[in-house]
Amino acid sequence: MKAKKKPLEVKTAEELGVTVASNITLVSVEPPAQRSAGIKVASVAELVEKLRNEAKVIA
């Protein structure tokens, strides 16, 4: 059996009493700040030492 389709009523924005205008004002656009260059570590011990002492990530 095929399902019956209910007729779809199409209304415009004016019929609904809605204004279609943009309220957004662009103030400024700036590029993000430049990131510093990364470093390569030679061993896991050096990585852990840098994370503990320089980045203060590992307590």
Predicted pLDDT of residue 19: 86
The arithmetic mean of pLDDT across residues 43-52, rounded, is 93
- Proportion of the chain above pLDDT 90, given as a percent: 49
The arithmetic mean of pLDDT across residues 23-51, rounded, is 92
pTM for the model: 0.39
- Kindly state the helix (H) or strand (E) to which residue 15 belongs, with its residue range: helix 13-16
The string of pLDDT tens digits covering residues 21-36 is: 888 899 999 999 998 8
- How far, in Å, are 6, 27, 56 from residue 36 at the CA level? 61, 28, 18
Predicted pLDDT of residue 2: 84
Predicted pLDDT of residue 58: 83
